[in-house]
Chains A and B, each alone.
Chain A
Amino acid sequence: MGENLKPRDHAEVEAAVNWALAGGKTLEIVGGGTKRVIGRAAQWDATLDLSGLSGITLCEPAELVLSAKAGTLLSEIEAAVAANGQELAFEPMDYGPLLGTETGGGTIGGALSANLSGPRRIKAGAARDHFLGVNAVSGRGETFKSGGRVVKNVTGYDLCKLLAGSWGTLAAMTEVTIKTLPRAETEETLLVLKLDDIAAGKFMGEVMGSVADVSAAAHVPAVAAKRIRETAGAGGAVTALRLEGVAPSVAHRKSLLEGIAAPFGALGTLRGGDSRAFWQAVRDVLPFAARGEAHARIIWRISTAPSSGAAVGRALTDRAQADVIYDWAGGLIWAALPPSDDAGAGVVRPIVAGAGGHATLIRAPVAVRAAVDVFEPEPAVLAALTRRVRESFDPLGVLNAGRMWAGV
């Protein structure tokens, strides 16, 4: 590990990147460092620590926007918007518990760079959908901006989308503008007990096709349900559906949901704080936390068509000894596998490829992450395009070089 550069403002970020360019050095971009272990195991010459760029610079709840320096803690932003009765609707997860890094230590820049989301992804989208504007320094050492401070804008290419989920390989963001939305007045969660994965998948599909308008739909099989405080006593799997809104609407839609659920099994309810705590546990994948019973296991994150989720999960269970949790009505699968030299990639990737979608290796020892593709490998034409896009921002490969794929 080389030098740690800790700029205090945008100009110093630009200076740091130019320093690296001049010296032929590579930089690892770090905010809170909570997701540092996600990605290929690569080496960088110096660290560009953006945590010194902190503070909310604009907060206009009536305009539904907030701007902040990129190193501002997500928890600080969430507290500020909550004070106005609002929230970040994309419900960004905290990787701290899953990765054994600091809980609550993530920054807004990190949340956007990783395109975080949470259970509400099915209704409200991911970070990309709420990312309105950015100031950044490219890997060329040049300052650029994109987007704006209004919620509707098509002026020029939407570079915010491109930066969301680019894991710091294109630019170092210094200030961002995001959309904030009103927080629901009430929430309630309906539980259906002891469904197997296939029945749960079918049930969640029916719910998603109804007018119940749920803001989250997850299936937590028995092993994982036991490790969440609110469902530990359920005695088996839970399939959970969250309703949010004004009280009369939640009550109305709950009765509608109960009608759909009746043929599937016994029901339970989580209200208020219990509902919130449960969904936070699902969001942060607490049953597979680094400090719990599953701490030594390999973690994969799989995005697939929701209707394929149950079959993918079953195949992972049967063929890779995986424990799984289904979020996004089956479209997101967290899988915990026993340790192995290839992290189970030889089994996981073909299963996912067969169903459509992609898999990311989230937690594995450094040696494994050096040997196995962490992000889904791309077909040749797409990989070449990805590389050209990368080079259009960072031709010399200064920023987080090699974090996503070799050379990217």
Chain B
Amino acid sequence: MPVAMPQSDGAVLARRAEIVAALQRMVPGEGVIASEQAMRPYESDGLTAYRQLPMVVVLPDTTEQVAAVLAYCNREGVRVVPRGAGTSLSGGALPLGDGVLLGMAKFNRIRTVDFANRVAVVEPGVTNLAVTQAVEHAGFYYAPDPSSQIACTIGGNVAENSGGVHCLKYGVTTNNVLGCELVLITGEIVRLGGSHLDAAGYDLLGVVTGSEGLLGVVTEVTVRILRRPETARAALIGFAASEDGGECVARIIGAGIIPGGMEMMDRPAIHAAEEFVHAGYPLDVEALLIVELDGPRTEVDHLLERVQEIARECRAVICRASTSEEERLLFWAGRKAAFPAVGRISPDYYCMDGTIPRAKLPLVLRRMQELSAQYGLRVANVFHAGDGNLHPLILYDANKPGELDRAEAFGADILRLCVEVGGVLTGEHGVGVEKRDLMPVMFSEADLNQQQRLKCAFDDQGLLNPGKVFPTLHRCAELGRMHVHAGRVAFPDLPRF
């Protein structure tokens, strides 16, 4: 594992039996898992190249238990790694050998559904899809839809600020969460927001969302639910050149159309998907675009006509509009199966997650092909085209010596490229351990220090999920130090009136 995790604290490990016993008193019954065999399922998350057994696993099922565990760990100086369903693709839930793994799976109840205010109050261990399932009888749904939605949990979605294919139009998690109950590492409990739209005071909910489990543990979440649009139709559009596909996306948005979903795949991804699910994708195109419109039937039909016109103007070689729900789902079937499809043509694949200004897509694809040749590894691309979020899948074989290292180096080069063209390291998967050491590519030391100071305001001993997000851990006292030079007046020519 090339990324170094914080060194285990021998003094904590020496007290393991005592710590396990204390946790068992706080979370009685089967809530504490301490045997190596039973802890094995927790050693990794969706980023399976990284594995580490935790010191102990705790599965609380009340807010009071979470508060007791955190207060204890804070008092005793024990590290804590929170975990939802463990589907993180960036290693956000990778355990620490001297840490408590705090699993939130038992928080799996939907507390209330309030149709009058279009909100649902759910526990963090509820899966993303279960929220929709709880409200769909009344014609509602929860908008963010990460592709892991049958497994991933709302708590994890809040931690990672998860997106999905519909987020260009409907926003990511942070735009769809109104409130939460948060337990601080001290065991103190705060409520942020609620069923009202604007939260009071600082937008702490906004900064907790996407904080990757470093600021606190969420024990309840209030999410917005939306009326499901009357209908949805999709167009399947193929291009002989990726530049044409990129132009088509820009012109659709330029025409004032924000599709419910707009996904692009490159040739290798198209071929892998088609071989796997036989969605009827054309195999002789360089780029395939799926554009989905949703809303009232009249609007969808109207806009789909326009999208097809634009596609033709952008030299589309194939353009089909779905005429039935079955056909629409078939268009999506290939895209939704793109990851496992790539998994069929390669023993292993490594999924990247950069975002780029869309106009740079042809350049980035070209440079990626050069890197592919340089590293001797194939790459397939799926792309949330509307928002510029690129998922290159690097194909490798972990059983071949050195291939994983090459894949990781290739991936890091892709992310550097994303930043170089004006983009960012991660659009929706999070930094975690995976991209931690690349943070200085995007942020200066001063930027990262300010972020860590905020961390200190929540967790002054750095016990919550250390080793994630920040490449260098500083002590809070050191970060807080001020160097004020009394009497020095810099920039004396600053205009004063």
A residues sitting closer than 8 Å to B (CB atoms) are 3-8, 11-12, 15-16, 18-19, 21-23, 52, 60-65, 85, 115, 117, 121-122, 125-126, 128-129, 138, 140, 142-146, 148-159, 161-162, 164-166, 181-185, 205, 208-211, 213, 245-246, 248-249, 251-253, 303-307, 328, 331-332, 356-358, 360, 375-376, 378-379, 381-382, 385-386, 388-393, 395-396, 404
Contact = CB atoms under 8 A, between A and B. Distances in A.
A213 B356 CA distance: 31
A146 B439 CA distance: 12
A392 B174 contact: no
Contacts of B282: none
Contact of A155 (B194, B196, B442, B491): B442
B196 A158 contact: no
Given A129-B171, A155-B431, A305-B117, A164 B203 contact: yes
A248 B298 contact: yes
Contact of A386 (B202, B302, B444): B202
B116 A161 contact: no
Contacts of A52: 495
A376 B192 CA distance: 13
Interface stretch (B25-33, B103-111, B323-331, B482-490): B482-490
A63 B358 contact: yes
Given A246-B299, A385-B204, A395 B480 contact: yes
Contact of B197 (A151, A156, A332, A379): A332
Lowest 7 A-B CB distances belong to which pairs? A161-B206, A249-B299, A182-B256, A15-B491, A358-B200, A388-B457, A305-B195
Interface in B357-390: 357-359, 384, 387-389
Given A12-B491, A156-B469, 4 more contacts: A158-B161, A249-B298, A252-B297, A382-B192
Nearest to A15: B491
Contacts of B171: 125, 129
Interface string B184-205: 1000111110111111111111
A182 B117 contact: no
B494 A252 contact: no
Q: A interface, by DSSP: helix, strand, loop or mixed?
A: mixed
A157 B210 contact: yes
Which of B117, B190, B485 neighbours the largest number of chain A CB atoms within 10 Å of its CB? B117
Interface residues of B, number: 108
B48 interface: no
A404 to B, nearest CB: 7
B426 interface: yes
A153 B190 contact: no
Contacts of A393: 450, 453-454
Contacts of A185: 256
Given A15-B491, A61-B254, A156-B451, A151 B388 contact: yes
A16 B494 CA distance: 8
B302 A248 contact: yes
Interface in B156-199: 160-161, 163, 167-168, 171-172, 174-175, 184, 188-192, 194-199
Interface stretch (B336-344, B393-401, B417-425): B417-425
B457 A156 contact: no
A332 B297 CA distance: 32
A182 B252 CA distance: 11
Contacts of B115: 209
Given A149-B422, A155-B425, A7 B495 contact: yes
Given A62-B253, A154-B428, A249-B298, A144 B207 contact: no
A247 to B, nearest CB: 8
Contacts of A390: 202
A72 B180 CA distance: 35
Contacts of A208: 118
Interface string B448-485: 11110111111000000000010000000000101011
